[in-house]
Each structure stands twice: as structure tokens, then as C-alpha cells.
């Protein structure tokens, strides 16, 4: 190390040292910012890869189809609700009320599917296995229509016919969504559509469910009517 001449003012040495630090700092900040920016595209690529492994169509298209299906479910709910007090039939009123609950479950399950598709790494109501979760939620939404129709056995055939026709469109749309989900690579044992809507913690036993609703008082099974 070279000897520093004694006649150099220590203040000058300190000034040179501080100047070198100030010059280096912007470079470090730029490098840090560049590294952070580089992580964002990588994260997006990871999400795109995950979705491509689970879906046969682009994720935005799949989400749009889900939203269209939710809109149809809500329209059907409006149609079904109109029959609640028309005939003055207690059993029919109960069947309609239970059917509306089931359709409400379907909108939740479809919403979870849309949310998980848009944010595949999110843990909200999911296990982290996107393909398996999508199949569970959509299968549950599909089973809800059959359970709803079963509830109208022994009631007005006119109302049952109208409800069945309305639910048929939902069934077709949900099936169309299911065929766009690739088979799960590691299917979870015990995951089924009916289970998704029939317990107290929401679809597939996950949180964010429907506590306090009518069908939840039936235990872990749907009512037999």
C-alpha cells in the first residue's frame, strides 16, 4: 500500500472517499432494480406455464367462459325464485329454496375456479394443485343441478319441467368447462363433485364456504327430500 504524503489534508481524503461511495450507490440501485424487474417476467412465465399444464385453452378465455356461466346461473336463480310462492305448496317451496341454495353454491365454486385460474399461486380456497382444484369445483357445480332436480320429485310437474329446462343450460356450460381442464397429474383420493358442496367448509372441504345457509344444517349430506 502506497504511503500517503503527510502534507495532504485529511479532509480531502475523507471527501474523496465519500464521493466514491456516492458514485457507486446509483449503480447498485440500478442493479438491484434490474434484478427485481427480472423476477416479475419469470413469475408471469411460471403462472402461464402452470395454466398451460392445466387447461386446453388460454386462461383468459377460460375465465370468460366461467363468468358467462355464472351470469346464466344467476339468471336461472331469478327464474326459479319466481315459483316460490305461486302454488302455495310447502314441499314445492322447500324444493325451490334448496335449489336456490345449491345454485348459490355453484356461483361460489365457479368464482373460486375463475380466481384460481387468474392467480394460480394463490391459496384462497385451494390446495395449490390447480388442475385438481378446478375439477373438484366444477364437478361440484355440475352435481348441484342433478341434486336440485331430484328435490322436485313429487311436486308440480309443470314447475319441475321449467326448472329442469333452465338447469339444462347450466349443466351444458359447466360440462364444457370441465372438458377444458386437463386431467390432474396426481389426482387426490376422495375428491368428488358431490363432496365439494355437501360439507360445512365449502367446496372440497376448503375454507371460505357457506356457513349458516340452509343446507348446512343437514350435516355432511344433502337432504333426501
Rounded CA-CA distance 132/100 in Å is: 26
pLDDT-derived band at 91, boundaries 50, 70, 90: confident
Output phi, psi for 83, to 5 deg.
-90, 0
pLDDT-derived band at 101, boundaries 50, 70, 90: very high
Range name among 20-29, 123-132, 184-193 with the lowest pLDDT average: 20-29
Locate the DSSP E strands across the chain: none
Q: Which residues contact 5 (CB under 8 A, 6 or more apart)?
A: none
Beta pairing partners, 181: 55
Percent of the chain with pLDDT over 70: 56
**Model confidence pLDDT, tens digit, residues 164-174:** 999 999 999 99
Q: What is the pTM of this model?
A: 0.63
For domain 44-203, which architecture applies?
Up-down Bundle (1.20)
pLDDT at 195: 41
Rounded CA-CA distance 167/99 in Å is: 10
Asked if 130 and 116 touch (Cβ cutoff 8 Å), the reply is yes
pLDDT-derived band at 44, boundaries 50, 70, 90: low
Every domain of the chain and the residues it spans: 44-203
- Give the distance from CA 223 to its chain's centroid: 26
Cα separations (Å) of 144 from 28, 52, 183, 195, 197? 57, 28, 21, 10, 8
Amino acid at each position: 500500500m502506497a504511503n500517503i504524503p503527510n502534507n495532504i489534508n485529511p479532509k480531502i481524503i475523507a471527501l474523496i472517499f465519500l464521493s466514491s461511495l456516492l458514485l457507486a450507490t446509483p449503480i447498485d440501485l440500478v442493479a438491484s432494480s434490474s434484478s427485481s424487474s427480472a423476477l416479475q417476467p419469470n413469475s408471469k412465465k411460471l403462472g402461464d406455464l402452470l395454466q398451460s399444464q392445466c387447461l386446453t385453452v388460454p386462461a383468459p378465455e377460460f375465465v370468460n367462459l366461467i363468468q358467462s356461466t355464472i351470469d346464466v346461473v344467476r339468471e336461472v336463480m331469478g327464474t326459479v325464485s319466481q315459483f316460490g310462492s305461486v302454488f302455495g305448496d310447502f314441499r314445492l317451496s322447500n324444493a325451490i329454496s334448496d335449489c336456490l341454495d345449491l345454485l348459490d353454491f355453484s356461483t361460489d365454486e365457479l368464482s373460486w375456479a375463475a380466481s384460481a385460474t387468474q392467480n394460480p399461486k394463490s391459496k384462497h380456497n385451494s390446495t395449490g394443485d390447480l388442475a385438481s382444484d378446478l375439477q373438484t369445483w366444477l364437478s361440484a357445480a355440475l352435481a348441484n343441478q342433478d341434486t336440485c332436480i331430484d328435490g322436485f320429485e313429487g311436486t308440480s310437474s309443470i314447475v319441475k319441467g321449467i326448472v329442469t329446462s333452465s338447469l339444462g343450460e347450466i349443466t351444458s356450460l359447466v360440462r364444457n368447462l370441465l372438458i377444458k381442464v386437463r386431467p390432474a397429474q396426481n389426482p387426490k383420493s376422495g375428491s368428488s363433485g358431490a363432496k365439494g358442496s355437501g360439507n360445512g367448509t365449502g367446496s372440497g372441504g376448503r375454507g371460505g364456504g357457506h356457513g349458516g345457509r340452509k343446507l348446512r344444517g343437514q350435516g355432511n349430506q344433502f337432504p333426501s327430500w
